[in-house]
Structures are given as structure tokens and as C-alpha cells.
Amino acid sequence: MDSNEVNKLLAGFLGTVFIVFSVGIVSDALFASPTPEKPGFAIEATEPAEGGPAAPAAEAKPIAELLATANAEAGAAIFKKCQACHSGEKGGPNKVGPDLWDIIDRPVAEHEGFAYSAGMKEFSKGGSEKWTYDNLNHFITSPKKFVKGTAMGFAGLPKDEDRANVIAYLRTLSDNPKPLPAPGASAENAPAKPAEGAAPAKPAEGAAPAKPAEGAAPAAPAAPAK
Ligand code: HEC
């Protein structure tokens, strides 16, 4: 009797050990993960790998200068790329993206009936930001870099000429095309009256802060809200 029970216990114990080991071996075999020769993934960036300052090319040539020699007809051909997602007619429908009629100086993220991304809404600063020539130029260079979180799934037009041409074309999509920006307005040979918003490159008498103050909220935390 006694020895019988001891045997049963032993058999039970050994059985358990056997199962545990078997499961271990089987699962090792199933989930074997050979160590890769090269650890990690190879991430191939199409954009310049060096993060660094965004779009140096755009910075190099002001849009005013580029627009001076732009060709709206050539821009119409480039606009075909945009038309995959945008219409350009007056009262045209919103497609994947909003209608772009009269886009120059139009408030950002304000076209009726279009559900903008959170990123674009933030960029609009509550409707105070507009699609100036400058903003368009930067946005079209690399949408995702200029407007973080934008839903515009377009890689961008890296070539100065292409952007200038398409912006020149966008300008024609209006009953009342906005005047072209004056070349040199933002350059150092400042004309009599400074262009709106364009802070002088070098502060005249050290009075103006070096950075354009436009839209930049004062950094200092004000008194706690009510
Ligand atoms: C793959 C689709 C797609 C393509 C191609 C595309 N866009 Fe867009 N675009 C969008 C979407 C979507 C939005 C809305 C973005 C958001 O809400 O973040 C947008 C927004 C915009 C806006 C802002 C409009 C507003 O009312 O604030 C402009 C300007 C614009 N696109 C211009 C262009 C131009 C110019 C081109 C061609 C060079 C182009 N887009 C190509 C999808 C596209």
C-alpha cells in the first residue's frame, strides 16, 4: 500500500518533469531566433540622412527671387501632380486634400468642409497663419518637415524651379491674383519700407530682436491663468 502510493507520487513527479522538459525543447525549436549577422534594420532614408536644419535649399533662394523668373504654364503641368488630391477650380470639390482655388494668402486650414489634420490646425495658429508665398514655398518643398503631422502625403518638390512654377500657377487660380512679392524685399538691401512680416536681417540700431517676432508668443510664462 504505502510503497504503492510512493510509486504513484514518484511517477507523477517524473511525468511532470518530463512534460516540462519536452515543452521547453519544443518551444525552443519553434521560436528559435538565430542571431542576425547585422543587428538592427537597415533604414533607407530617401531624404538626407543628416537631420540638421530643414531644407537648406529653400533658405538659400527667397521665393520672391524665384517667382521673378517663374513660368505659370510650366507650373500648370506640375500642378497635375497635385491634382491627384486637389482641385483648383472656383468652388471645386474637396478631394483627398482641400480645393486650392485662391490659395495665395488664404488662411491656413480654413477651407470649408475639409477635415484638416491636427498638425495642420496647429500650424494655422487658430486661423491667423496664411498661405503666403513663403509658407507655400516651404510647405511644398517638404510638407512633412514644414508642417509636422500634416496629412498631405506628398514627398515635396525639391527643385526651386518646379516650386516657383507651380506657385506661379497657383497664383493664377484666383479672380484677383495677389501681387507677386517684390524681389529683394527680404534681402539686405532693404527698400524704403520693409515688407510686411519680413524682419530685417540685421537689426538696425540693435533695437529689434534678431529673430522675427511675428507670431512668436512671448516665452516668459505669464501670470497663471484665472
Ligand atoms: C496625396 C495627396 C496629395 C497631393 C499629391 C498633394 N496634396 Fe496638398 N494636401 C493634401 C491633404 C490631405 C491636405 C490636408 C493636409 C492636412 O490637413 O494636414 C493638403 C493640404 C494642402 C495645402 C493646405 C491647404 C489649406 O487649406 O490649408 C496646400 C497649400 C496644398 N496641399 C498644396 C499642394 C500642392 C501645391 C501640391 C502639388 C505640388 C499638393 N498639395 C499635392 C493632399 C495632397
pLDDT digits (tens, 9 = 90+) for 181-220: 988 655 444 444 444 555 555 544 545 455 544 544 555 5
The amino acid sitting at 72 is A
**CA pair distance 179, 87, nearest whole angstrom:** 22
**CA pair distance 67, 69, nearest whole angstrom:** 5
pLDDT digits (tens, 9 = 90+) for 22-64: 777 777 777 766 565 665 666 555 555 454 455 444 456 899 9
The amino acid sitting at 9 is L
Q: Is the pTM of this model over 0.75?
A: no
Query: Contacts by 82-91 with C-beta closer than 8 Å and gap 24+?
Result: 82/154, 82/166, 85/152, 85/153, 85/154, 88/170, 88/173, 89/173, 90/173, 90/175
Q: Is 97 in the pocket of ligand 1 (CB under 6 A)?
A: yes
Which residue, 84, 130, 91, 140, is CA-closest to 108?
A: 130
Query: Which atom belonging to ligand 1 lies closest to the Cα atom of 153?
Result: 1
Q: Is 107 in the pocket of ligand 1 (CB under 6 A)?
A: no
Query: Which atom belonging to ligand 1 lies closest to the Cα atom of 84?
Result: 5
Homologous superfamily of domain range 56-172: Cytochrome c-like domain (1.10.760.10)
